[in-house]
Structure 1
Amino acid sequence: MKKAPGSLLTPIPILLALLTGTAAYADEVSPRSESLPTAPYLLPGAPTFDMSIAQFREKYNTANPDLPLSEYRAIDSRLDKSPLTRAASKISETLYASTALEPGTGKIKTLQITWLPIPGPDEKAAQEKAQAYMTALMRFFSPTRSVEDSRKRLNELLSKGKGARYYAQTEGALRFVVADNGDKGLTFAVEPIKLSLTEP
């Protein structure tokens, strides 16, 4: 991965805050006044998707030619205490894809789409584009879902997470996370979870 160009430096503090942020556990909403637990993907032994960011991007772009992701570029995270590698891909001036990668293997711990709302005549179109990318990310990991069903599911998650700093819900081996920071941005993330067998 290449170092982020100057045009990506402005939102880096926002992306870094989102990547190093914390997340509520499944089906919990964390109000803005509460302190949050550590994001599950930051915990030791947290699972990864069994692919690198380059493999994900190639497969994603093949499946979504109308919603492409550019090359992810490393984010300088020297001030971050986490050993994870951070990277981001600029989609537009108000839309970014980001990730955290396991050191050594480069496997994906989390994939995030962040929309930075800017009031104005283009806000609605930008929001629709952001939701299209979020839907595509969801469908990448749930390919049996139709576009319409994925859009409906995304809207349910965004509705449940509206106004919450972090909202998470698990579905099978996936965790869907919504972080609604109002005018500072809306993030939708997909993360792997460890499945455990319950004993009778």
Structure 2
Amino acid sequence: MKNLPGALLLSLALTVPAFAADPQPLDRAEHMPAAPYLLSGAPTFDMTIGQFREKYNTTNPELPLLEYRAIDNRDDKSNLTRAASKISETLYASTALEPGTGKIKTLQITWLPLPGPDQNASQTKAMDYMTAMLRFFVPGLTPEEGRKKLTELLSDGKGSHYFAHNEGALRFVVSDSGDKGLTFAIEPVKLTLANP
């Protein structure tokens, strides 16, 4: 994977979690419904990627996110703006933004495992970033509680192309493609009032 062009890696990072809610055989992948954030009327977080990055970096100065850069994806029929931020050779942050407002529909951290002596350090760094993003949206968690929650989510989604767990106004998504990559995403959930 080291020899793959950066644009291809970013494309991979942005498409990994766009699968159906139920894992399906790969030959049925083209018939799978879109990820929830791709659906018409899907909610957004009430912030742009610039606002998120500024607040996140203030809270996590030891795990900074560099500026997100838009990705040209002419084949994308969703009309969303996609952007990514390279953290390292094996770690990327990515997002999909609502057209017009630039508000966030999904935030993703993708780790691309690269076999070798640095894989454990690379995995630890990926888990640190995923935990920091989780704690950004669930601020009452201690670092230990955040890591425990992340570990549980990753365990529940192990081997799934798409695993989602809703909790309040948040959806936590795991896309585990084994040695091809692991994506952890956080998305807003549209809340509805119960009928009286």
TM-score (norm 2): 0.92
What CA distance in whole angstroms lies between the structure 1 residues aligned with 2:173 and 2:70? 22
Kept in 2, the 8 Å contact 1:32–1:164? The answer is: no
Q: Is 2:85 the counterpart of 1:92?
A: no
The sequence identity of aligned pairs, in percent, is: 67
Range moving further from structure 2, 43-52 or 31-40: 31-40
- SS of the residue 1:176 aligns to: strand
TM-fit CA distance, 1:196: 1.1
Deviations 1:125-178 (A, max 9, x none): 100100000000000000011111110000000001001111000011000000
TM-fit CA distance, 1:38: 1.2
Range moving further from structure 2, 60-69 or 75-84: 75-84
Q: Is 2:56 the counterpart of 1:60?
A: yes
| Other-structure match for 1:144 | 140
Kept in 1, the 8 Å contact 2:13–2:183? The answer is: no
Within the candidate set 19, 35, 42, 1:22 is matched to 19
Moved over 3 A (4+): 31-36
Deviations 1:92-128 (A, max 9, x none): 0000000000000000000000000001111011001
- SS of the residue 1:50 aligns to: coil
Within the candidate set 174, 181, 185, 2:181 is matched to 185
Structure 2: unaligned runs, 5 residues or longer? none
What's the Cα RMSD here? 1.4
What CA distance in whole angstroms lies between the structure 1 residues aligned with 2:39 and 2:85? 24
TM-score (norm 1): 0.90
Q: Is 2:122 the counterpart of 1:129?
A: no
Q: Is 2:167 the counterpart of 1:171?
A: yes
TM-fit CA distance, 1:13: 3.0
Structure 1: unaligned runs, 5 residues or longer? 1-6
Kept in 2, the 8 Å contact 1:8–1:90? The answer is: no
TM-fit CA distance, 1:82: 1.1
Deviations 1:52-102 (A, max 9, x none): 000000000000000000000011111111100000000000000000000
Q: 1:57 to 1:181 in 2, by over 3 A?
A: same
TM-fit CA distance, 1:184: 1.0
- SS of the residue 1:91 aligns to: strand
Within the candidate set 168, 189, 193, 1:197 is matched to 193
- SS of the residue 2:127 aligns to: helix
Kept in 1, the 8 Å contact 2:91–2:126? The answer is: yes
